[in-house]
A and B are shown apart, each in its own frame.
Chain A
Amino acid sequence: MSVSRRRLLRAGAGLTAGALALPSWLAPMLASAAPGRPPRRIVFVCHDHGTVYDQWRMHPPGRPVTMDGLRPAPDGTDWEEPLTPLPESAFSTILRPLYPMRSKMLVLDGLAMLTALGDRGGVPTHPYAMVHALTGSSGRAVGLDVYAEGPSLDQLIARQVARPDRYKSLVLGTGLAGPISFRGDYIPLYPVYDPALAYARMFEPPLADASREAVRLRRSSVVRSALAEYDRLIPALGAEDRRKLELHRDLLRDLERRVDSVRAINCEVPAAPAAAPPVTELGVGDNYLRVTDAMLHLVTSALACDLTRVVTLHLDTLPAPVLGYEGDTHNDYAHKAEYQSQPQATAFMTRYHAYYARRLRDLASMLDNIPEADGTLLDHTIIVWMSDVSRGIHGYHRWPIVILGGGGAGIRTGRYVRYQPRNPTPMPRPQDDYDPHFVGPAHSKLLIALAKAMGTDIDHVGRTSVTSAPLEGRPSVELDLTGPLPGILA
Chain B
Amino acid sequence: MALGSCTDGVTGSGTGSAAALAGADPVSRLTSQQLEVTVFSLSDARLSPADQPRDPKLGGYSTAAAVRVPSAGWLDDYAAAVEAQSAEFVRRTSCRQEACRIEALLSAAAQAFRRPLTDDERAFVTGLYQPDEDGPDRALAVALATVLHLPQALYRLEPLAPSVGAAAADRLALMLWGSRPDEALLRAAAEGRLATLAGVEAEVRRMVAHESFEMVAVAFLRQWAGIHHPDAPGRDWALYPGYETRTFMAMADQTDAFLTAIVREAPTFRELLTRSTYPVTPELVPVYGPEAADGRKLMEARGVRAGVLGLPLFLTVLARTKDPSPIRRGKFVLDKLLCRPPLEVPAFAPPFDDAVPGRTNRERTAAQTETGVCRGCHESINNAGYAFESFDAIGRHRLEDAGLPVDDRWILFGADTTGEGKGLVSLAEAIVESPSARRCFVDQWAQYALGGPPEAAHLPAIDEAWAAFEGSGGNLRELVVAFSVASLRPLVEGR
Contacts and interface: CB of A to CB of B under 8 A. Distances in A.
Contacts of A197: 77
A222 B149 contact: yes
Interface residues of A, number: 77
A215 B83 contact: yes
Interface string B1-26: 11100000000000111101000001
Given A144-B59, A222-B149, A237-B159, A210 B128 contact: no
B119 interface: no
A458 B219 CA distance: 45
Nearest to B61: A143
B77 A123 contact: no
B27 A237 contact: yes
B69 interface: yes
Nearest to B149: A226
Contacts of A431: 347-348
Contacts of A211: 86-87, 90-91, 137-138, 140-141
A451 B82 CA distance: 37
B2 A228 contact: yes
Question: Which of B137, B151, B160, B231 gathers the greatest number of chain A CB atoms within 10 Å?
Answer: B151
Nearest to B89: A211
Nearest to B144: A215
B58 A216 contact: no
Contacts of A142: 58, 60, 64, 66-67
Given A125-B347, A201-B77, A223-B149, A143 B69 contact: no
Contacts of B475: none
Interface string B149-174: 11110110101100000000000000
Nearest to B154: A248
B478 to A, nearest CB: 28
Contact of B59 (A143, A183, A223, A331): A143
A142 B20 CA distance: 29
Interface string B348-361: 10111100000000
Interface string B132-150: 0010011011100110011
B146 A225 contact: yes
A214 B57 CA distance: 32
Nearest to B453: A142
A363 B313 CA distance: 40
B76 A255 contact: yes
Contacts of A189: 71, 73
A75 interface: no
Interface of B: 1-3, 15-18, 20, 26-29, 56-61, 64, 66-67, 69-73, 75-77, 79-80, 82-84, 86-87, 90-91, 128, 134, 137-138, 140-142, 145-146, 149-152, 154-155, 157, 159-160, 231-234, 236, 245, 320-321, 344-348, 350-353
Interface of A: 123-125, 142-145, 147, 167-168, 171, 176, 179, 183, 186-190, 192, 197, 200-201, 207, 209-212, 214-216, 218-219, 221-223, 225-226, 228-230, 232-233, 236-238, 240-241, 244-245, 247-248, 251-252, 254-255, 279-281, 283, 321, 326-328, 331-332, 335-336, 339, 341-342, 393-395, 431, 434-435
Given A219-B145, A222-B145, 5 more contacts: A142-B66, A207-B83, A226-B149, A241-B26, A327-B321
Q: 7 nearest interchain CB pairs?
A: A144-B59, A143-B60, A335-B351, A214-B138, A226-B149, A212-B87, A143-B59
